[in-house]
Amino acid sequence: MRPLDLVYIEKLQGPHEAMDVLFDYIDDLCIAGRFDVVDDFVAESEAEIENLSTQILVGVLGITHPARTKLANRKSLINACRTKFIKTEGQKRTNGLLSGFDK
């Protein structure tokens, strides 16, 4: 699966279905120890950041938080999200959305 697949799921079936698919996909990969695939997904999410909704991006950060020490690209995604969210959500909301993800 690729991050853009979530955009289509979100448009066709709604945000809750997209989040369910995201969480199931990443959770299964983490359980299997496939952190390399998860890290690639994180990197692709950053590359497609302008196409992904705030909800999907926060979902990616949330589901990957427990594996953060194994994901080299996650810090960069957090920084990219911060830049995007400040523009789209404002500073105060951005602080709330990203609270705890970089710890």
The per-residue pLDDT for range 47-63, each reduced to its tens digit, is 999 999 999 999 999 99
Q: Where are the beta strands (DSSP E) in the chain?
A: none
User: Model-level pTM greater than 0.85?
Assistant: yes
Q: Which of 98, 88, 36 is nearest to 65 (CA)?
A: 98
Q: Is the pLDDT of residue 103 over 80?
A: no
Query: What's the confidence (pLDDT) of residue 78?
Result: 97
Q: 7-22 as b/e, with b when 16 or more CB fall inside 10 Å?
A: bebbeeeeeeebbebb
Return mean pLDDT, the chain: 95
Query: What's the confidence (pLDDT) of residue 4?
Result: 87
Query: What's the confidence (pLDDT) of residue 65?
Result: 97
pLDDT digits (tens, 9 = 90+) for 18-58: 999 999 999 999 999 999 999 999 999 999 999 999 999 99
Helix (H, G, I), strand (E, B) or coil at 77: helix
Percent of the chain with pLDDT over 70: 100
Query: What's the confidence (pLDDT) of residue 44?
Result: 95
Q: How far is CA 93 from the centre of its chain?
A: 17
